[in-house]
Amino acid sequence: MNRDFRLSRRAVLASGLALGVGGLVLPVRAATPLKVAGIHASPVENAWNSCLHKALQDAAAEGAIEYTFSEGISGTDYPRAMREYAEAGNKLIIGEAYAVEKEARQVAADYPETAFVLGSSGAAAGDNFGVFGTWNHDGAYLAGMLAGKMTKSNVVGSVGAMPIPEVNMLINAFAAGVKAVNPEAKHLVTFIGTFFDPPKAREAGLAQIDAGADILFGERIGTADAAKERGIKAVGSLIDYTPRYPDTVFANALWGFRPILNAAVADAAAGKPVGKDYTAFGLMKEGGSDIAYAKGVAPADAEAAMEEVRAKIKSGAFEVPRDTAEPK
Amino acid sequence: MSIVLDIIASSGLWAAVLRIATPLIFGTLGALLCERAGVLNLGIEGIMTFGAMVGWLAVYHGADLWTGLLVAALAGAVFGLLHASLTVTLGLSQHVSGLGVTLFASSLSYYLFRLIVPLSGSPPTIEPFAPVNVPLLADLPFIGAVLSAQTPPTYLALLLALLLAYVVFRTPLGLAIRMTGENPHAAEAQGVNPMAVRYGAVIVGSALMAVGGGFLTLSAFNSFFPTMIQGRGWICIALVVFASWRPGRALFGALLFAFFDAFQLRLQTAVDGVPYQVFLMTPYILSIVALCVMARRARVPQALMQPYRRGER
């Protein structure tokens, strides 16, 4: 018994020594990739989270960062996960503050050495709490320009989750694109009241088709399934849905997280404060967002007109209206 | 007003009603069967999630769609066995055990899905059930258009409601189930084994719930997401009360709820100037109103949530 105790004390001393040496070694390894953690409130298959997750995975594969992540973290658990990743020595934490705006800022204040850059509807806070929005409305506007020329019934529809500013801006941009080329077109909007219910989004899409829509803008996954079932065309958002619905989704308002991530990683690695708004890095003219479309589906003149505006957006000569009011 | 009438007169609305109602019919019938035998099964939300996952997974790995539904049913039966052993044999709190089953089954679905299906941006798909035309029925005016938009599991759900109503009210087995839910001591005095009846009801009921979940990934959609049940299981629990524990009314309740949901999706695009939240609320508000009206005459199975211990008074 006594012997056991001595042994364990020796083990404790040894481990202390090991930790000390580890501390000495650390400065030598300064060139190692930045430790970045991702905290996803939804499963990473969720389109928005998949944008973050893919950018982080790609960066890790290139050796730019070291990436660990958790997914499906509920709001009540989110601050705890933030603290654990901060305690674990991560230098940059990427995630989403939408459900925990206040708590996330409190956690960040407790860990001034850790950089937090989260998707948020609010403003940056302090030196170490940065925010970003999801602005892929440029692509939505361009897709709307194609849809406006393609509709035969002169009715298009959008299915969204909830009318939060970012979703509103996206749907309004699509509608503005449609109206820009086809002022007579009618635009239907349905909100499904939840961020994640594909069967419900599909039902909302079918209801719009029943009401005459012949092109659907699916802010939510499930909408394109309705279009596929009825043999009409659809527009996707955030990621490229064309491989999933090859004959249905002809255009996508893509959003890339990589430019935002690169900027945040560069700041965090250089020890610069990250307490700012990174949204602009996701804009089209910064290379963050774009339109991906299958050529030849829309009329050639519609594609040409759209490409012209696309070039103007990229050069900064044209700015897509940012309207965050609830679409109607 | 004419907009509202136009919507109600459209076959698209009624086709949507049947589609939205199908998972609710399966789930409500399953919960009803459990409760008729005296066991509340709050495992429903998790069992539906697991059924959605495992049914989809079977098809993804090459099984046909009906086998997928069968696999879902079997998996649901296993969770039913778990819930029954906790609540019937051990006589534990049915609330706690049921919620435990829900947490366990949904987490296990998530875990197995991650383990088996490679991580990708957008989850892999299967080819779901396609709508079928039933000869004669499809030729009927209006009803034909509504029915020809439905997939086979919807027909199964409708037939199942009739079958369950028949079994519960017209067969010795149904009498045994009802007796066990009302007074298990009296049932035992009549030579019925209340333990066996409860086990059977919970296992079969849970299998039905899982089939309801399977419908969501094998017919309503073609992929599985860990959070896709979205409270449909809890709606089923409320529908059982609404139905006063009668299968026919359960069918009616599920259709009514689905009607309000399909209706509000159409009103949102047809009516201007009303906040969309009002429409989203309607199925729930009207369900509560209907619940108040119906529940006045509801007869709760007298032994519901009471564990049966042989020889105990």
Residue B312 has pLDDT above 80, yes or no: no
Residue B313 has pLDDT above 80, yes or no: no
Sequence spans of domains, chain A: 31-132, 137-255+288-315
What tokens does A147 get?
């849809």
Which string of b and e fits B262-301 if b means at least 16 CB within 10 Å?
Answer: bbbbbbbbeeeeeebeebbeebeebbeebbeebeeeeeeb
- Order of strands, sheet of A129-132, starting from the edge strand that comes earlier in the sequence: A65-70, A34-39, A92-96, A115-119, A129-132
Is A208 in CB contact (< 8 Å) with chain B? yes
Least confident of B6-15, B29-38, B56-65, B269-278: B269-278
Sequence spans of domains, chain B: 23-230
CA distance B42 to A25: 54
- Give the ipTM: 0.91
Is A224 in CB contact (< 8 Å) with chain B? no
Give the per-residue pLDDT at A45.
86
Question: May I ask the CATH class of domain A137-255+288-315?
Answer: alpha beta
Beta-carbon separation of A207 and B119 below 8 A: no
Distance from CA of B45 to the nearest CA of A (A): 15
What tokens does B274 get?
């009303």
Percent of chain B with pLDDT over 70: 99
Q: For every residue of A113-147, which 3-state class applies, written as one string?
A: CCEEEEECCCCCECCCEEEECCCCHHHHHHHHHHH
What tokens does A238 get?
């955030």
Residue B152 has pLDDT above 60, yes or no: yes
Beta-carbon separation of B227 and A42 below 8 A: yes
For residues B281 and A206, is the Cβ–Cβ distance under 8 A?
A: no
Beta-carbon separation of A196 and B125 below 8 A: no
Choose which CATH entry (3.30.465.10, 3.30.70.60, 3.20.20.70, 3.40.50.2300) describes domain A31-132. 3.40.50.2300
Is A158 in CB contact (< 8 Å) with chain B? no
Q: Return the residue matching tokens 């990473």.
A: A44
Give the per-residue pLDDT at B1.
65
For residues B106 and B49, is the Cβ–Cβ distance under 8 A?
A: yes
Beta-carbon separation of B266 and A197 below 8 A: no
Average pLDDT, chain B: 93
Percent of chain A with pLDDT over 90: 81
CA distance A143 to A292: 9
Q: CB contacts < 8 Å between A and B, how many?
A: 91
Residue A268 has pLDDT above 50, yes or no: yes
Dihedral of CA B115/B121/B123/B124: which sign? negative
What tokens does A91 get?
């230098």
Contact list in B for residue A200 (CB cut-off 8 A) is 230
Cβ neighbours, 10 Å, residue B169 = 13
Is A199 in CB contact (< 8 Å) with chain B? yes
Give the per-residue pLDDT at A24.
44
Contact list in B for residue A206 (CB cut-off 8 A) is 12, 16
Give the per-residue pLDDT at B278.
86
| Residue that wins the pLDDT comparison between B271 and A40 | A40
- Over residues A253-267, the pLDDT tens digits come to 999 999 999 999 999
Confidence of residue B239 (pLDDT cuts 50, 70, 90): very high
- Over residues B97-143, the pLDDT tens digits come to 999 999 999 999 999 999 998 777 678 999 999 999 888 888 889 99
- Over residues A269-278, the pLDDT tens digits come to 999 999 999 9
Give the per-residue pLDDT at B294.
76
Confidence of residue A8 (pLDDT cuts 50, 70, 90): low
- Over residues A88-127, the pLDDT tens digits come to 999 999 999 988 999 999 999 999 999 999 999 889 999 9
| Residue that wins the pLDDT comparison between A8 and B306 | B306
Give the per-residue pLDDT at B62.
95
Give the per-residue pLDDT at A6.
47
Question: Rounded to the nearest 5°, which phi and psi values hold at A208?
Answer: -70, -35
Beta-carbon separation of A163 and B276 below 8 A: yes
- Over residues A16-71, the pLDDT tens digits come to 444 444 444 444 444 689 999 999 998 888 889 999 999 999 999 999 999 999 99
Give the per-residue pLDDT at A3.
45
